[in-house]
Structure 1
């Protein structure tokens, strides 16, 4: 325990402002001594006279700005030119502090040394002493405690003049939390600074009034931004609530129809009613459930944001509460941003409900039990149907109450036809498999879809898998007046063709007969995409895209300018429509990227873009045609890289076809791409004069063989299209025609 003389000496060497040993002691004319930094702070804070002195303003006026009041006796002192640094240094006190007070020589915190190492002659603070004794390098060194370790606790009334702020203690290190890390937004102690915040040196400040004021202003800025986002969140919540309401109304309407039909056919559909309700409910709840969750989360964010916005900031004097409020405000800002990015799909599922029809077929010969049969169900349809191969279809007779009929004996007379020849019936054979099961055997004669009809109770469409080996152009081709760039198949069995003559023409897909020139005023119309109601066309040289109505052929949208910013293009080529949300994906050729646009209220809004020049993942060299495949993945023709890239709708790389990543591909300048009903790709290779067919895994199945201008040859093919019968249509650019395969 220190004796009384040591305590007195410590008090004499302690600054009454900071309550620490003097650092660069400066004396005022009144002979009171203070740290140079403490006097600087006193001047910056514009210390005023004591309230008792202010009552005598006539006799004791406030000192001018070049003066400072002594914190001890309050006597005004004139500062010399140059400020505090030009005051006289109290060398006697400075020498005493230097003689008896040792500071740690291994850390940068300026802590007072509490130990002295007799081996390496270093003075160490308490923290560094622990490290010194545990280090392998200094193992075995002897530490001697220092006699003077810290300044005394102030006991005089001077402590009340400028008391130290009170700090909470660190739960982990039991050290005062006197610092704030702005990078991590945490209040820390000196030990935290040296351990868990060692890389935050430029972001750590001591806690004082200036810091609290600065953080309060920063919090006000965050709350202003939160106020702005709160309004957007209100619109976001209204949009969610509206679509949920429409979904619920649609669901309730369908359920009412189901219940009315159930009341009419109670005996026959009692079992199926429950299944229908479950199915309809699951379909619409699957759509509305995530929207409800998003609405609930968004409302919670908005309510909490409004609570913080309306809160009074004046009571927030505690740095801990202030930082906690700031953290929550910034977290809410992040939550608001994520919520506003949530894509609301306005499409509402449609369930077509029709009551069952009773079987009324006089040819059905099952004796007195024929009225028990309600329908037939395909329990084993063929997974793929090939032309000129014997096929079979297994049917199960069903009773009126939904149960299987377990006896045979019915005379079934199906009508099997090809879609393009509905009047020509195919031969068949029916085998009674007993237990109410029947096998229909037949043989398709071509690759168009089949219709198997057991009118009025059974009607099934079987897509026939076409064999593309060999891939040979048909003798009939559709001659054009100008070279074609792109071709696409329309729902009404027509072809839309973009021409070098700066227009788009419509052709009959079966005969090639011209149906009109309904779209014009282009610079260079290139590739196209079609949805239920519209035809989208890229104009490569005008650097924009167009949308026309399929019903009245009127222009709906015109979008884009030349440039490299979002919403601008540099020679756009391909265009694809997302099958779920309707967003447009455009291949921006010279910018080597894919741009994503959102359809909103009859206009287009740029969302994002991805890709850059190169041969790596999601890198392009003049991207061309693109489509969404059956798995809703984006497939892009990477022209100069000679490959197809498969990406997610967010631009994440999945795989590549026709190439080893980072190398030149085997496809020669792929421009156009389409996909048949079975997921196989047809690609137009401009450089090799080929059309190549690949399977769903990217394996080459077949390709054309001839190059030239004669019938059955191709010259620089570009766009390709495929109809429901797997016929391939090729824009034969060099021969000015559409070739059908």
Structure 2
């Protein structure tokens, strides 16, 4: 090992000297206990801010000495530097071929010390090998020329094939747009009918009131006229008028009472499942001549569900010149295709090595259509099938980004969320921006920059998306929330630093429920606050402590399908569940490394059945639980390889997949 690299490993980034009693912070960064960590302690708040990642940690009761020692660094410190190997020259050597001790020179080919006679023989052998290799290369030139001609033919065929597929995509989209237009007219007629019915009912009430007012006015005139006769009115008639007046008074009181029935507002609720699966309208992929539609769909869409069904699909059939043209699709009102993903999946992605020299397997593009009653409704496995699906998790499907400030790259990504269209929204914290990717991981857009003005961020953390696609962000160091529309246009900002109602201190995770109420983890105030989408304070719950309903630096929050509010109580190493009014319901987890235990849990998410996903940050793993907190599955380990994580942050569900913000690896992983 290089001595210089060892010295770099053993150097503290604060004092720039060798570690003295190295202590490991929860964010996995190491510093000297004295004087580095001790000098960084905030004596008032009894906390320390990491100089590497600016994360704030609570000081243990025994002081900075209570942080764990970095045993890896301690092991290196115990090794004398004299034992670290360094390559040096010196000492006599023997020839690697003849074994005699002579004047030697290092061979650049085999890296062995050879004497001059042996080196000449060795070079002659290399010349013979080189001539043989050149001869083989010359013999391969005709084959390469043939392969070049074949590729030119395939280019022409591919162009024709692509034009046919594009035309079929356009026809499919036009047909289903026409069907949606028809549905639009039906909904408009239905809304008009409801409005007319309600209008007729209001008119009847209006007519009844007008008749009542006329009756009262006439009665009052009659009484005034009768009383003006100076006592000549018979007592019976006077008594009759009195009774009539009392009856009319009772009627007026009934009319003046406020209506017990709550006022109704006509509203339109679009199908969220339709919006979330528009990006799945059809798919474009490669198929060989002997592939059948049922094979393509059953193998690619229902893998792992224990179901195989046959669905219509557009495949290619050979024509007279050997090309493939897609046939027309039969009209069916029960089918709605998926949107083309613009991804051409080749055999190379399936793990097969491509053959570029005269491949005989002709391929063509395939468009798949899905049953609207099944896949278009989104990922809807339930019960035992859903639990089996989760137990197969752990293998990374794809990853997005790496460290950097270019578009599509991240620096300390934190919160993640999924839009109704299935796009991925990422809080790119230290780049002070939000980035949006499509379901395949391709960059779409970003917005935001460093600052404190409208639309600017200072190390944002959590992110959430409403049903209409609005994006809510926790602007951490600006101590506020900001709301944007679906394309990133600023709408409003609210909140400022403080501990009063509506004030925030380092807000972290955010979530929004179906009614449009925003829940935010007010981390350093150790509470959750509830706001309307307009930014008005509604209520708060939680305070610092370890009891039921008490919190210690809550980081992330998620809303379940039954309006349960799930919070990662990070400082208490547990997850707590509240109802939508903030009343404590239950909790699970404690500090530890066993299954079902946590160390500084961060991101939380719930699926459509209420199963809970937790980013167990300190243990570098993800854990899945049933709605009652029963442990189900765990996967992940510390590292930078595929499927490994370093410092988890936000998590999310997306159509049966699990989205993870891998903070210290500066990437997003999908499982």
TM over 0.5: no
| TM-score when normalising by structure 2 | 0.44
Query: Which one has a larger percent helix, Structure 1 or Structure 2?
Result: 2
| TM-score when normalising by structure 1 | 0.40
- Structure having greater relative contact order (Cα 8 Å, sep ≥ 6): 2
Query: Which one has a larger percent strand, Structure 1 or Structure 2?
Result: 1
Bigger radius of gyration among the two: 1
